[in-house]
Amino acid sequence: MHEILTRAAEKAEQAEVYHLQRTTVPVKFDAQGLSVIKAKRSEGVALRAICEGRLGYATSTDLLHPEEVVEAAVATAAFGDKAELDFPATEPKEASGLFDRSIEEIPAESLADLGESIRASLLRHEPDLEIGLTLGTSIDRVRIANTAGLDTEEMTASLGVTIQATRARADDIYTASDSFLLRSADELDVDRITKRIRWLLDIGRDVVPAPSGSLPIVFTPAGAVAIFFPVVVGLSGKAVLLGASPLGGKIGQPIFDERLTLSDNGRCPTGSRAGSFDDEGTSTGETALVDGGALREFYYDLRTAKQAGTVSTGNGYKGNILEGRSFRAAPSPDISHFVVSEGDASTEELIGGIEKGLLVDNVLGLGQGNVNAGDFSNNVGVAFLIEGGKIVGRVKNTMIAGNSYELLKNHLIGLSNKRDWLFGRFLSPAVAVANVNVAAG
């Protein structure tokens, strides 16, 4: 790695090397049982080089020939964008709770046993289910060094569990799903891991006609991504610079209901992107994006921060909103973990206050509709009819649409007092809003 940086420094004004080593042990079950168990190791480097004010980028898995990745990065700089960034020199403050050796020491056989226990728990609840299950450990070692003097390294360990339980009938196929990311083997609890799946299976047993019209909706923490995704896009400093965000020029102004506070926090230990630094070596932290309904800040990587005349918020990441770390992609501004404030009601109380509406747990696809304007339009994957404050059955062939800014400012009913993760990136309570457009097929 240092040889790459030394060679790059001879040919570039600035250079940065990103080195990722990853060891994963994935264990997969299909409807018949255990299907895959195989350890995997991967390693690669990415080099950013600034030559004559332009940014070059190259990646490689061949660490024995450092000259090749240097030559490639320097060559691409001739056609690269104007650099407009300076690599950081400050050593980031270490985050805690990210590497527990108990995760690293879990043998593949124990993962298989855990998978069998999860399957057995769900099949005791409902014997005819078809269960798809993926679980596995991931150990990442990330090192970033640059010509400004930064040389920082960190190891993280996690255990991921993803469950899909399918009930198949002659006239209906219903899949309930959930996922977890754990940072310690001590957190393993089969009953907790399967609790939400069992609840979704129970309330989704009966299919009922879907309503249409302008209706209140309670979004579960998993479903809330539908209404918050346009907001995530709008809070990007890059979107503001491009004039694509409706929030430009509104710092300090109320944009949402005063009960709503939003932040980006790269140090949530149970989040999938938790780390001491982002993928540019900038220290992570908590950025207050919206406080008490008022806009406070946007999130930036190094490049967009310099263009905006400010500093990076530690949000330069490789990959997209649903991906883990990868050395292949160049960094760009993205959220680490989007955190929504809790409210003062239980989810049951939010549901109990709805005379007729929907509980939405899952939508199909993100980014549909005019997202830059705050609009969302999604087919519903999993949703339930609420009548008289009670869940009466599952609905199918339903679409929801609305404008996130309008709904969260003028039609927020309430937020639940308990939060949960989606994709390891969104930490949200249940969110109840009125006047969402619902169309039944």
pLDDT value, residue 366: 80
DSSP symbol at 139: E
Length of the chain measured in residues: 441
Q: Give 211-230 as a DSSP string.
A: P-EEEEEEE-TTTTHHHHHH
Lowest mean pLDDT across 191-195, 205-209, 320-324, 416-420:
320-324
Higher pLDDT, 235 or 321: 235
**Confidence grade of residue 179 (pLDDT, cut at 50, 70, 90):** very high
Over range 115-124, report the average pLDDT.
Answer: 95
Sign of the CA dihedral with 300 first, then 303, 306, and 312 last: positive
Which amino acid does the sequence have at 254? P
Cβ contacts of 219 within 8 Å, gap of 6 or more: 226, 227, 360, 430, 431, 432, 433
pLDDT reading at 196 higher than 70: yes
Q: Phi and psi for 153 in degrees, rounded to 5? A: -145, 150
pLDDT value, residue 2: 84
Q: Are 42 and 306 in contact (CB under 8 A)?
A: no
Beta bridge mates, 59: 46
**Confidence grade of residue 149 (pLDDT, cut at 50, 70, 90):** very high
pLDDT value, residue 388: 97
Domain boundary assignment for the chain: 2-203, 206-441
Instruction: Report H helices in 213-346.
Output: 225-234, 237-241, 302-308
pLDDT reading at 324 higher than 80: no
pLDDT reading at 322 higher than 80: no
**Confidence grade of residue 292 (pLDDT, cut at 50, 70, 90):** very high
Lowest mean pLDDT across 279-283, 388-392, 423-427:
423-427
Residue 282 is encoded by which pair of tokens? 């900038």
pLDDT reading at 186 higher than 70: yes
Task: Give me the architecture of the 2-203 domain, per CATH.
Answer: 2-Layer Sandwich (3.30)
Q: Is 105 exposed, middle or buried (0-12, 13-18, 19+ CB in 10 A)?
A: exposed
pLDDT reading at 400 higher than 90: yes
Q: Is 309 exposed, middle or buried (0-12, 13-18, 19+ CB in 10 A)?
A: exposed
pLDDT reading at 323 higher than 70: no
- Read off the pLDDT of residues 16-55 as tens digits, 9 standing for 90 and up: 999 999 999 999 998 888 887 888 999 999 999 999 999 9
pLDDT reading at 148 higher than 70: yes
**Confidence grade of residue 159 (pLDDT, cut at 50, 70, 90):** very high
**Given phi > 0 = left and psi -120 to 50 = alpha, else beta, which region is 344?**
alpha
Place of tokens 């920082």: 152
pLDDT value, residue 34: 87
Residue 28 is encoded by which pair of tokens? 């997969």
Over range 65-75, report the average pLDDT.
Answer: 94
Cβ contacts of 72 within 8 Å, gap of 6 or more: 47, 56, 58, 60
Higher pLDDT, 74 or 188: 74
Over range 232-257, report the average pLDDT.
Answer: 97
Mean pLDDT of the chain: 94
pLDDT value, residue 321: 64
pLDDT reading at 232 higher than 90: yes
Alpha-carbon gap, residue 429 to 441, rounded angstroms: 29
Over range 124-129, report the average pLDDT.
Answer: 96
- Read off the pLDDT of residues 419-429 as tens digits, 9 standing for 90 and up: 999 988 999 99
Over range 314-332, report the average pLDDT.
Answer: 84
Alpha-carbon gap, residue 149 to 323, rounded angstroms: 29
pLDDT reading at 14 higher than 90: yes
Place of tokens 């006047």: 435
pLDDT reading at 140 higher than 80: yes
The pTM is what? Answer: 0.94
b/e string for 135-147 if b means 16 or more Cβ within 10 A? bbbbbbebbbbbb
Alpha-carbon gap, residue 132 to 2, rounded angstroms: 43
Cβ contacts of 227 within 8 Å, gap of 6 or more: 219, 376, 402, 404, 407, 408, 431, 433
pLDDT value, residue 319: 80
